[in-house]
Amino acid sequence: MTGSPDIRACVIGFPITHSRSPQLHTYWLDQYGIDGCYAAESIAPDGLPDFLLSVKQDAAGYCGGNATIPHKEALLALADKADATARILGAANTFWSEHGALHVSNTDTYGFLANLDAAVPQWDRRPADISRKAVVLGAGGAARAIVFGLISRGFTEIVLANRTLSRAEKLVGHFAAAAEQQNCRLLPLTLADAEAALVHTDLLVNATSLGMVGQDELEISLTRLPVSAVVTDIVYTPLQTGLLSAAQGRGNRTVDGLGMLLHQAVPGFERWFGIRPQVTEALHRHMLQDL
Ligand code: ATR
């Protein structure tokens, strides 16, 4: 008995100080009485290959972990085995070593969908003959994970509105084959044209950083959005963004972004520590204390 914890995982990033993951996983470790720990490791981009090699060789002291900015694409490139979602998204956020091989997955799509499933049961259900339309604002990595999730849940039309039109067009091109297979129409637009596209929309997602503390507000009139639509934001600082307040004020159901962060962490925790953790109200409150 060395006194050191049995199972160790970590989050890697550069810089890493902003990560909420240690607080989240440590809560679950305490909750389930697991003899383990979850640390934050600052790993510079040029140190990533050596770090991952040491994980594979069981020399780093970690059985796996999460990756955040700027490592998500490089983690996928350095993996021995990647799950289908990581390959389709072109990025990975979760890793573990298994029989000397580095496995990776991407849990962002799962986190986005599970958050909506938990907050608004049936949010994606409509009679089979009725179209389902989503408007996604943004075209970065988060938007990519979200669009993939919406295609997989049978949305028939997804409008991608972004400040830089070429990025929205690129994202549409990336998912063209997957969308066609699911009879889903993808439409790239500029952010300025998003308001007009809100008619007949069932789900509006902000996947830009607008509305976050220290960033500009997201300026969008919701006049054309049906009151039956669900509105969600990936921004969780503040928890109640300007978009969510405006949507709530006119009667739309809203889902905040903290849940996506919590749910995306579930598969990794289960992989490293062997218990599938619950996302509870108490966990939400715990995380809110330090936001
Ligand atoms: P992530 O991977 O977290 O999605 P990202 O790739 O930096 O991060 O994407 C951030 C998103 O927020 C992009 O859609 C970005 O728009 P551009 O592609 O035009 O850069 C959007 N965004 C950030 N700041 C913005 C602003 N001031 N106005 C409009 N959109 C903004």
Domain boundaries, given as residue ranges, for the chain: 7-107+265-288, 110-257
* Per-residue model confidence (pLDDT) at position 1: 38
Please identify every residue annotated as catalytic: 72
The architecture that CATH gives domain 110-257 is 3-Layer(aba) Sandwich (3.40)
Q: Is the CB of 163 under 6 A from ligand 1?
A: yes
Does 110-257 match 7-107+265-288 at the fold level? yes
* Per-residue model confidence (pLDDT) at position 270: 98
* Per-residue model confidence (pLDDT) at position 128: 74
Residue nearest (by alpha carbon) to ligand 1 atom 28: 163
Q: Is the CB of 162 under 6 A from ligand 1?
A: yes
How remote is the CA of residue 170 from the centroid of ligand 1, in Å? Answer: 14
**SS in 3 state form for the chain?**
CCCCCCEEEEEEECCCCCCCHHHHHHHHHHHCCCCEEEEEEECCHHHHHHHHHHHHCCCCCCCEEEECCCCHHHHHHHCCEECHHHHHHCCCCEEEEECCEEEEECCHHHHHHHHHHHHCCCCCCCCCCCCCEEEEECCCHHHHHHHHHHHHCCCCEEEEEECCHHHHHHHHHHCHHHHHHCCCEEEEEEHHHCHHHHCCCCEEEECCCCCCCCCCCCCCCCCCCCCCCEEEECCCCCCCCHHHHHHHHCCCEEECCHHHHHHHCHHHHHHHHCCCCCCCHHHHHHHHCCC
Residue nearest (by alpha carbon) to ligand 1 atom 29: 163
Q: Is the CB of 24 under 6 A from ligand 1?
A: no
Residue 144 CA: nearest ligand 1 atom is 4
How remote is the CA of residue 143 from the centroid of ligand 1, in Å? Answer: 9
Residue nearest (by alpha carbon) to ligand 1 atom 18: 164
Mutation pick for ligand 1 pocket among 19, 146, 163 (CB with most ligand atoms within 8 Å)? 163
Q: What is the pTM of this model?
A: 0.96
Q: What is the pLDDT along the chain (291 residues), one digit of tens a residue?
A: 344 568 999 999 999 988 999 999 999 999 999 999 999 999 999 999 999 999 999 899 999 999 999 999 999 999 999 999 999 999 999 999 999 999 999 999 999 999 999 999 999 987 776 889 999 999 999 999 999 999 999 999 999 999 999 999 999 999 999 999 999 999 999 999 999 999 999 999 999 999 999 999 999 999 999 999 999 999 999 999 999 999 999 999 999 999 999 999 999 999 999 999 999 999 999 999 988
Q: Is the CB of 167 under 6 A from ligand 1?
A: yes
* Per-residue model confidence (pLDDT) at position 17: 84
* Per-residue model confidence (pLDDT) at position 161: 98
| CATH code of domain 7-107+265-288 | 3.40.50.10860
Residue 167 CA: nearest ligand 1 atom is 18
